[in-house]
Amino acid sequence: MAWPALYNRYPVLYPDSISYLEGGRLVARALFLHEFSTNYGGRSLIYGLGILPMHWNITPWPVAALHALLTAYLIWLVVRSIAPRRTVLSYLALLISLSLFTSVGWFVSLIMPDILGPVLYLSIYLIVFAGETISPRERLAVLLIAWWAVASHITHLILASGLCALLVVVLVLQHVPFRIWLRVISKVGVIILLAAAAHLALHTYLYGRPSLTGRRPAFLMARVIADGPGRWYLQAHCGEAKLVLCDHLHAIRNDISADDFLWEEGGIWQGASPATQEQLRAEETRFVLATLRTYPRAELAIAASNFWQQLRTFALWGYGPDPWISEGFDRALPGARSRYLQTQQAQGALPAEFSTTAQNWMLMTALTLIGTLSAFRWRHLSPRLVGLTVIIVSIAIANAFVTGVFSMVEDRFQSRVIWLLPLLAWLFVLEWLDYRHDCFSVPNFPKSPHA
């Protein structure tokens, strides 16, 4: 599954990877040595802390191995729950095709929590719809994996919370008894609450006040400014609104993007002092709400456009050479910079175009199979496959909404979940093959002596 890392001769890195690799060490020092830092990187501290024992700021290879193990394990349990008679060969064929022709191998190889989103959603399926197909030990493993996955990124927590409400409706429509659906949904709810509690406790310890997101960049502020209404609001109301952001109005160009606002060197966010960044965070909610009240229709139309664009944006670009990565190596992985500079990624030679084309064809094939088999067999689909379909389709849509509307449109955001649709298509085919086998198999009755 980690062929992109093997081809690259190193796990694939993204600028945020450096923050995760560095942040785990800083958090560990605060927790165990009481040596606090003024900056923990602004990323998910629980993921950074969780992968620290894997890499110890020496090599990220064990992290990619962990990603591969968790993903392969969850796919195994899911295949076994849908097609128990075709498990081994079907599983191997599915894993090979997904690895070669979808984005799953890229996200297994990427040192980011992105792969844990799909791992979480498959875990939720197993807990809610297929609990009887896994042993008590497997159930415990799935619960622990689900907790770490949901705690590894705030987006996972948001999507899992929304998924809980949707699955209640699905279970009711499937006429599942109240006692049973309440028990399985409660398990997912407890996992989400424990993950949220971990965020609150850790951020309270590190920053002195409870927070689910810590000291994150002002993503929503950047979003509404890049959309246009935020910029219009500042231009019209900076004379009366007492906002620190108004001091930077001259730097807010008409073509400014969310990336420019947040990450441009010397820009509004990167060029601000820690005290100014804290003020911008404090003003973010007030500013965003004021913009929405002033320009509700414009922001709604732009948000809908961003959602639709994100839903269709899932290429595998953005993994080329990046100065931010090479500059951060000395902090995150001391002594490993020369190794990175020899990789295919650092030389801009990763096969992103091949993988993007392959994934597009695989996705079109998958959607055709799902649509065809659903149309012909919708009355015969198992409740498990229906439940998995609801989870995967709703997550593909909700992920595009959350990332496109509240963050920015980026290929990586949607490509990290889009491979679940080819997985679903494979499972549709496996269940159809089992159905055909049951329909056309001839019982082996003993012959009558008078025949």
- Going from the C-alpha of 19 to that of each of 55, 57, 203, the distances in angstroms are 14, 12, 16
How many other C-beta atoms lie within 10 A of the C-beta of residue 364?
10
Going by pLDDT thresholds of 50, 70 and 90, the confidence category of residue 448 is: very low
110/355 Cα distance (integer angstroms): 15
Q: What local confidence, expressed as pLDDT, does residue 86 receive?
A: 75
pLDDT at 213 (0 to 100)? 86
pLDDT at 450 over 80: no
Contacts of 95 (CB under 8 A, 6+ apart): 1, 72, 75
Q: Which residue has the tokens 């902090």?
A: 331
What is the C-alpha separation between 41 and 116, in angstroms, rounded? 20
Q: Can you tell me the mean pLDDT for 264-276?
A: 87
- Is pLDDT larger for residue 441 or for residue 186? 186
pLDDT of residue 381: 84
- What is the per-residue DSSP string for 167-205? HHHHHHHTT--HHHHHHHHHHHHHHHHHHHHHHHHHHHH
Q: Please tell me the predicted confidence (pLDDT) of residue 441.
A: 60
Domain ranges of the chain: 3-215+313-435, 219-311
Residue 438 banded pLDDT, cuts 50, 70, 90: low
Mean pLDDT of 167-184: 92
User: Over the stretch 236-257, which tens digit does the pLDDT of each residue have?
Assistant: 998 888 889 998 888 898 889 8
Residues in contact with 72: Cβ distance below 8 Å, sequence separation at least 6, in sequence order: 1, 95
- Percentage of the chain exceeding pLDDT 90: 72
Identify the H or E element spanning 303.
helix 296-311
Please classify residue 394 by burial: count the beta carbons closer than 10 Å to its beta carbon, then call 0-12 exposed, 13-18 middle and 19+ buried: middle
What mean pLDDT is predicted for residues 103-109?
Answer: 97
E-strand stretches of 328-427 = none
Average pLDDT taken over every residue of the chain: 91
- Other beta carbons less than 10 A from residue 152's beta carbon: 29
pLDDT of residue 443: 55
Query: What is the reported pLDDT for 55?
Result: 95
Whether the predicted pLDDT of 394 surpasses 80: yes
More confident call, 432 vs 439? 432
Q: What is residue 445's predicted lDDT score, i.e. its pLDDT? A: 46
Residue 80 pLDDT class (50, 70, 90 cuts): very high
Output DSSP code: residue 115.
G
- Cβ contact 103:71 at 8 Å: no
- pLDDT the model gives residue 42: 75
- Least trusted range by pLDDT, from 133-147, 200-214, 416-430, 433-447: 433-447
The pLDDT of residue 451? 42
What's the confidence (pLDDT) of residue 39?
83
Cα distance between residue 366 and residue 370, in whole Å: 6
Mean pLDDT of 165-182: 91
Question: Across residues 358-363, what is the average pLDDT?
Answer: 96
pLDDT at 317 over 80: yes
**435: exposed, middle or buried (Cβ count in 10 Å: 0-12, 13-18, 19+):** middle
Kindly state the percentage of the chain with pLDDT values over 70.
96
